[in-house]
Amino acid sequence: MKGKIFIDTNILIYAHDLDAGSKNEISADLMLNLWENRMGIISTQVLQEFYVNVTRKILNPLSKSKARGIIESYLVWHVELNGIKTILFASEIEERHLLSFWDSLIIAAAYNAKADKILTEDLNHGQIIEGILIENPFKNGDKMLS
């Protein structure tokens, strides 16, 4: 992987959900690569959604303290804070690209952090939005690790 990579919530969840099968393996490998190369970016939105989903919505929810510990470990990454200007920019992206507001907020945060790509399964693989490449790591399997 090259450049700065923004991680969407679903990839972060899969990396810590042992019941996610091959998605867990692929996501965990991606996260390890990003740790080692110091290229990972997340946002406050991603951390919020991660906490809610891993403590309530996955098959075997994590304890709240375990989820907090995971979040704390990611604070060494570039964490993009979503302020008022980001929210307004996301609303423009939503309107311009006909996306959900929440997906647009991910794109706005990635844009503000100067990410080269977003890893997600929620947007169209290969699409470029606001100059950022969208990649679904499950579309190509582990080809993205090279």
Residue-range domain boundaries for the chain = 5-137
- The answer to whether 43 and 81 are in contact (CB under 8 A) is yes
Threshold 0.75, pTM exceeds = yes
Section 29-47 average pLDDT: 96
Classify domain 5-137 at the CATH topology level. Answer: Rossmann fold (3.40.50)
What distances in angstroms separate CA 107 from CA 3, 42, 45, 53, one per listed residue? 16, 11, 11, 20
Per-residue pLDDT tens over the stretch 120-135: 999 999 999 999 999 9
CB atoms within 10 A of CB 62: 20
Q: Which of 9-13, 97-101, 105-109, 139-143 has the lowest mean pLDDT?
A: 139-143
